Amino acid sequence: MSAKLIRFVGNYDVNAEGKFMFEILAQLKDFGVGRMLTKSEWSKKWPDQPSYLIIKAVEPEMDRWLSRGKLWADWTYRGKNLGTYMFEHDLNRSDWRLVHKHEEAKFSKCDSPMKRVPFPDTFPLPPLQVHMSRTAAERRGSKSAVPTRAPLQLCIDPELQMVRHMFKQVAPAKQSASIYDEVDKKALLDLYGKELPTKVEAWSVGPAELSKARFPAIDERLAHMKTF
């Protein structure tokens, strides 16, 4: 007897292992001022580099369920104190948890905080561009050297803007025809921690229907099923 097909509805939120921020603060004295909170996402990515907030001030919107608002907190990210930040968005992700007072000292201890991330200050120009520049220079009779590299301007992911000061640009130890051979791959991957980001499919518009089979072996079994 063949196994019953499993019908998948929606996407599982891998970071939904806690509570909303204001779901926690609304149950604490003075809305949790002085308390330590963290996200399970941070603990998963960098278990040896604690990230947490120390609540300084809270301004709830006073909605019916006390589920929205903004707050100010001292933010420690991967063992580095970033100072006081205002948080207003992404507080309604059920990923926050309260660090109990008797656990705060142990949780905040960090022997190896985040280190500076090196980036090359220049990058190699594409070979075709260099070839065309040399050809044009020869036609003009120019004897000046054709540049083979250009200054590199970093474009930082918005999620990493708070640690922009941790990125430093230095002359590459070795020059190559590809910038991917010049960067520190280990340092770049460490920005994402032990869990690389995954793509989450957006909700589609229209009636719900079974997803297209990803394995040819079950195409025939799905052919007779209709939209529900």
pTM (2 decimals)? 0.75
CA-CA distance, 121 to 149, in Å (whole number)? Answer: 10
Q: State the pLDDT at residue 173.
A: 85
Q: Which residues of the chain have pLDDT under 50?
A: 226-228
Please report the pLDDT score of residue 68 as a whole number.
86
**What was the pLDDT predicted at 226?**
47
**pLDDT in the model for residue 227:** 46
Look at residue 113 in the predicted model and tell me its pLDDT. Answer: 94
